Amino acid sequence: MITFDPGSSEIALDRGDDQPATLTVILRSGLYLALVPGEALQSGDVAQNVTAGTFKFTVKFSLDDVIGSAKFQKTSPAANGIDLTDAATGKIVVNFIPSDTQALAAGYYYDLEMVLAGKTRTLRAGRFTVTKDVSTPGVAGQPAGIVDDFGADGLRTDVIYLRNPATGSWIKLTHTPDGVLDIGPASAGPPPY
């Protein structure tokens, strides 16, 4: 099953499902946007002929992940996951297949980009949630909990905050690109996004 929340731009998909997502590219007040199913056109919205466009739909664990760490990416044409058969009416179809989400079950981030007339535009972005289901088990041997390469790319410093619910105190784990792991008390929890 796939669901869309037009207000928050969240897309939720059951792990391992085959699901098409039909989005409509419109022009609203001079901006290109992609509407999800159930999202109403506003006065002045005009569906766009995007047959000359190319599209990318990317899902990553963190907004800061390098593109090589993306969980998966779909591109046009249809053989690569984005069908432009009805692009003359503004409709594009992102086809999710089981292998996209088979090993996932958490909250991620996505965006949909279009390149048209030499200009790159982000049409929609938000949270992408993969929910576990009974019939599609996860990958065997995958550990429970949060799994991250934790600085394995050698480019970033990873920080994890842990809160003791009994005392309310925070612990901060910092792992630097040079391999140093520092564990200590934190004066406050994680910063806001």
Domain residue spans of the chain: 2-131, 150-188
Q: CA dihedral defined by 62, 132, 142, 146, rounded to 10 degrees?
A: 40
Query: Do residues 78 and 95 lie in contact, with contact meaning Cβ atoms separated by under 8 Å?
Result: yes
- 13 in Cβ contact with 131 (< 8 Å): yes
- The predicted model gives 95-107 an average pLDDT of 92
CA distance 131 to 60: 15
**How much of the chain, in percent, has pLDDT values that exceed 70?**
88
Q: Return the closest-CA partner of residue 123 out of 12, 39, 43, 2.
A: 39
Whether 176 has a pLDDT exceeding 80, the answer reads: no
The pLDDT tens digits of the residues spanning 83-100 come to 999 999 999 999 999 999
Instruction: Name which of 59, 147, 70, 138 is nearest 103 in CA terms.
Output: 138
pLDDT tens, residue by residue, 31-62: 999 999 989 899 999 999 999 999 999 999 99
Tell whether pTM > 0.75: no
Structure tokens at 183: 């564990």
Query: What CATH superfamily classification does 2-131 receive?
Result: Immunoglobulins (2.60.40.10)
